[in-house]
């Protein structure tokens, strides 16, 4: 099985849609969610037409709220179950959902003012090919907004170092997990590799901007365990090894407790904007 199919299976389960803990991103230090920040970046230039890649059950629309009233929104996701859930919540004329694979879809030419992708493009098998198509689909003056984990910033503060120590145990199970095929992960391994890919796809380096923020999860060791077991990386571990993996993560989280019994776990995020000049 490929990572892509494993992810699709996970997103197609009955419990996936509308369970807030399914993709438990944590909150940023100012109390906002990562999606809220990402949507603010997307809406800053008042786009008329937005494409949301890997929209899931349309959490983007939840964060946009009333601001979407005058926007034409298209959400695409390969999970039928996610799209069914999104369509039930958002049955409006200006909102359209497509069940489809980003890597197999032609998004047209000069179609969208903003193309948004929150925690998706790093999962693609060939992101360069997709981003080249997406670049073509963005109108001059428009932009691509990507939110992804910035694991290269794992040593930037005590909270990210704690995340790094605990998450390093995913490597213990790599041989027992669905392999992460394709170049998605390596293309998003650093600011330089992302700039390289975006410029190869047609964007100009001067028009690419990075913003960074940590998602903060402060909780008991079991809360950290719950966060980790909800990640796609945990779902990819073979079922027979999941109990052992859970025990390893819990033990690692217990070692990180402060005197109040809390673990402070920061997940570094990057918010990347690539603008297409007029
Ligand atoms: C981590 S979730 C993020 C969902 C949503 N953007 C959010 O922020 O909650 C990743 C989503 O991307 C979708 N996805 C991953 N690869 C895809 C592909 N190649 N084509 C379409 N959807 C994809 C998955 O089905 C899943 O819904």
Ligand 1 pocket test target in 21, 35, 56 with most atoms within 8 Å of CB = 56
The second-level CATH assignment, the architecture, of 3-151+179-215+268-275 is: 3-Layer(aba) Sandwich (3.40)
pLDDT at 7 over 90: no
Average pLDDT score over residue span 10-23: 59
Nearest Cα residue to atom 14 of ligand 1:
54
| pLDDT recorded at residue 20 | 44
Best probe residue, ligand 1, of 39, 75, 120, 125 (max atoms within 8 Å of C-beta): 120
Local confidence band at 16 (pLDDT 50, 70, 90 cut-offs): low
43 vs 181 pLDDT, higher one: 43
Q: How confident is the model at residue 25 (pLDDT cuts 50, 70, 90)?
A: low
Least confident of 11-25, 207-221, 255-269: 11-25
pLDDT at 11: 84
pTM as predicted: 0.93
Nearest-atom index, ligand 1, CA of 82: 27
Mean pLDDT over 23-44 rounds to 79
Per residue, the 3-state secondary structure of the chain, as one string, reads CCHHHHHHHHHCCCCCCCCHHHCCCCEECCCCEHHHHHHHHHHCCCCCEEEEECCCCCHHHHHHHHHHCCCEEEEEECCHHHHHHHHHHCCCCCEEEEECCHHHCCCCCCCEEEEEEECCHHHCCCHHHHHHHHHHHEEEEEEEEEEEECHHHCCCCHHHHHHHHHHHHHHHHHHHECCCCCCHHHHCCCHHHHHHHHHHCCCCHHHEEEEEEEEEEEECHHHHHHHHHCCHHHHCECHHHHHHHHHHHHHHHHHCCCCCCCEEEEEEEEEEEEECCC
């Amino acid at each position: 099985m490929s990572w892509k199919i494993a992810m699709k299976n996970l997103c197609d389960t009955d419990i996936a849609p509308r369970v807030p803990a399914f993709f438990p991103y944590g909150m940023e230090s100012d109390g906002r969610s990562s999606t809220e920040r990402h949507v603010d970046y997307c809406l800053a230039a008042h786009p008329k037409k937005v494409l949301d890649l890997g929209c899931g059950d349309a959490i983007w629309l939840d964060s946009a709220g009333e601001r979407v009233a005058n926007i034409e929104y298209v959400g695409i996701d390969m999970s039928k179950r996610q799209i069914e859930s999104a369509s039930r919540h958002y049955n409006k004329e200006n909102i359209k959902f497509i069940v489809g694979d980003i890597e197999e879809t032609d998004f047209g030419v000069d179609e969208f003012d903003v193309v948004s992708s929150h925690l998706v493009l790093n999962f693609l098998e060939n992101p360069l090919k997709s981003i080249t198509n997406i670049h073509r689909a963005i109108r001059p003056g428009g932009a691509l907004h990507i939110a992804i984990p910035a694991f290269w910033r794992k040593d930037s503060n005590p909270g990210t170092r704690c995340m790094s120590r605990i998450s390093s145990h995913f490597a213990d199970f790599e041989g027992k997990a669905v392999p992460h095929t394709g170049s998605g992960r390596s293309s998003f391994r650093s600011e330089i590799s992302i700039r390289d890919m975006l410029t190869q796809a047609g964007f100009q380096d001067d028009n690419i901007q990075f913003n960074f923020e940590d998602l903060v999860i402060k909780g008991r060791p079991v809360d950290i365990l719950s966060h980790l077991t909800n990640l796609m990386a945990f779902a990819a571990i073979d079922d027979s090894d999941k109990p052992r993996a859970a025990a390893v993560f819990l033990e690692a989280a217990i070692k990180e407790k402060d005197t109040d019994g809390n673990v402070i776990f920061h997940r570094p995020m990057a918010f990347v904007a690539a603008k297409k000049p007029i």
